[in-house]
Amino acid sequence: MPSDPDHVLDAIDGVVDEWETLSADAMRWSPPEHKSPDIVSEVSEIFGPLVNAFSQALRPIGDAFERVLRTLEEDDDGPRPT
């Protein structure tokens, strides 16, 4: 590879020309069109947030039920040794 400055400038010009060509091609590219949504995606978009909200609303009830069961379990075992 020659070390003269003209060779370096020619290499830079070649890269810039290639980039300009690819960049112009990239501007013509368009993403593929999306298909119309199917029934499964529509149902999941509608009911997903509702199910999430319902589960968050029931979480305190589940936590309270778990505390009651732990309390009953401790009472059945008798006093804990210290």
| Strongest mean pLDDT among 7-11, 15-19, 37-41, 49-53 | 49-53
CB 80 within 8 A of CB 74: yes
21, pLDDT greater than 60 = yes
Amino acid 56: pLDDT: 93
- 65-82 tens-digit pLDDT: 999 999 988 876 665 555
The pLDDT tens digits of the residues spanning 22-42 come to: 666 666 667 777 777 788 888
Tokens of 33: 């069109």
pLDDT at 29: 65
- End-to-end CA distance of the chain: give it in Å, rounded: 83
Domain positions in the chain are 49-76
Cβ contacts of residue 1 below 8 Å, gap of 6+?
7
